[in-house]
């Protein structure tokens, strides 16, 4: 209490003395703030505009859209026809279902692989632990492009093209998530583990009843990052599927662009784009804090 009062006092002091010492600066400071707000809003508009445009185009009537030589910034007669078209003219529902299955199974398997490995590295003692862990860290630096060639051959040789196993299996592991979770597990005090051992709790029980609940925030973070990754994955699914029945949304949208709807039905295309974008945006709105925190800890893109 005392400390906060003190710092407040300090702030008040500086706030009081600063304008007194240089009264002229105050005005230019305000101008600067206004400029900053204008520039930030400008960038905000640039970010939001593509979203607005896809929403707008998706509710424009096809005929009306085609007759606009200069695109209009709004429409007076919005229609939902394009959304119906998106589901009936191309198998968009199928793409959604595939992506959902792919995302859920991949994420679940990722957890089943990551949690035990992180547990072994953080709590258990075994010979060669440091060597294996160093090897894991070294693997983090290997770019996907280098290993995807053989994976493509492996999956093809195993006859797993156009199957969910072929899509999922190579996408399961992420060394980085193991590393992230291991760091988090290690923050749990050793005493807790020893106490549990004295009580005769098994390792597995300790892991599921103590460690996982404590580290839930980190686990949720990696789940969210994995879900985003799965929802947007394009390269591997493109290589491994050429049967539309196994397309994910990214491949679906590409397919729609090249062959769907007749190339010129852009409103229907935009309806599909909106539908594909919505799930992640909803996820983002709900878990905004968690996602941004998780990404700053471990995400990269671009």
Partner 1 sequence: MKKNSFKAWLYLLPALIFLGVFMLYPLIDVLIYSVEEGYNSASQTSFGIGSYNFSYVLHDPYFMQALQNTFLLVIITVPLSTGLALLISLGLTSIKKLRNLFQTIYFLPYVTNTLAVGLVFMILFKKTAYSDGLVNALISIFGGQSVDFIDGPYWAKMFVLCLYTIWIVLPFKILILTSALASVNEMYYKAARVDGTSKFRTFTRITLPMISPMIFYLVITGFIGAFKAYSDSVALFGTDLNAAGMNTIVGYIYDMLYGDSGGYPSYASAAAIILFVIVLTITVINLMISRKNVHY
Site residues (CB under 8 A) for partner 1, limited to 72-111:
none
Task: Give whichever of 77 and 301 is closer to partner 1, judged by the CB atom.
Answer: 301
How many whole angstroms separate alpha carbon 172 and alpha carbon 175? 10
Token pair for 267: 């409103």
How many whole angstroms separate alpha carbon 149 and alpha carbon 166? 14
In angstroms, give the least distance from the CB of 123 to partner 1: 9
Segment lying near partner 1 (by CB under 8 A), choices 75-83, 129-137, 180-188, 209-217? 129-137
Ramachandran area for residue 261 (φ above 0: left; ψ -120 to 50: alpha; else beta):
left
How many whole angstroms separate alpha carbon 75 and alpha carbon 57? 9
Residue 153 binds to partner 1 (criterion: CB under 8 A) = yes
Among 83, 95, 102, 119, binds partner 1 (CB under 8 A): 119
In angstroms, give the least distance from the CB of 213 to partner 1: 18
Residue 59 binds to partner 1 (criterion: CB under 8 A) = no
Residue 137 binds to partner 1 (criterion: CB under 8 A) = no
Site residues (CB under 8 A) for partner 1, limited to 246-275:
249-250, 253-254, 257-258, 264, 266, 269-270, 272-273
Among 33, 165, 208, 259, binds partner 1 (CB under 8 A): 33
Among 75, 79, 162, 277, binds partner 1 (CB under 8 A): 277
In angstroms, give the least distance from the CB of 243 to partner 1: 14
């Amino acid at each position: 209490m005392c400390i906060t009062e003190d710092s407040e006092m300090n702030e008040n002091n500086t706030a009081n003395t600063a304008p007194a010492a240089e009264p002229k600066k105050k005005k230019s400071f305000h101008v600067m703030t206004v400029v900053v707000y204008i520039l930030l809003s400008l960038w905000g508009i640039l970010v939001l505009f593509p979203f607005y445009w896809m929403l707008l185009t998706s509710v424009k009537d096809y005929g009306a859209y085609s007759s606009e030589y200069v695109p209009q910034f709004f429409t007076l007669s919005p229609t939902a026809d394009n959304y119906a078209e998106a589901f009936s003219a191309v198998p968009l529902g199928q793409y959604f279902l595939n992506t959902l299955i792919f995302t859920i199974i991949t994420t679940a398997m990722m957890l089943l692989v990551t949690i035990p490995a992180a547990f072994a590295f953080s709590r258990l003692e075994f010979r060669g632990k440091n060597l294996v862990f160093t090897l894991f860290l070294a693997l983090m630096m290997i770019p996907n492009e280098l290993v995807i060639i053989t994976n493509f051959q492996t999956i093809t040789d195993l006859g797993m093209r156009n199957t969910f196993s072929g899509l999922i299996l190579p996408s399961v592991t992420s060394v980085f998530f193991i590393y992230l979770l291991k760091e988090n597990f290690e923050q749990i005090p050793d005493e807790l583990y020893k106490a549990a051992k004295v009580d005769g709790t098994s390792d597995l029980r300790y892991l599921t009843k103590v460690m996982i609940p404590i580290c839930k925030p980190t686990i949720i973070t990696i789940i969210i990052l994995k879900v985003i990754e799965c929802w947007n994955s394009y390269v591997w699914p493109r290589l491994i599927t050429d049967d539309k029945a196994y397309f994910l949304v990214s491949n679906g949208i590409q397919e729609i662009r090249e062959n769907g709807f007749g190339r010129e039905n852009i409103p229907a295309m935009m309806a599909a784009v909106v539908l594909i974008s919505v799930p992640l945006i909803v996820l983002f709105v709900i878990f905004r804090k968690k996602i941004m925190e998780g990404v700053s800890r471990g995400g990269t893109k671009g």
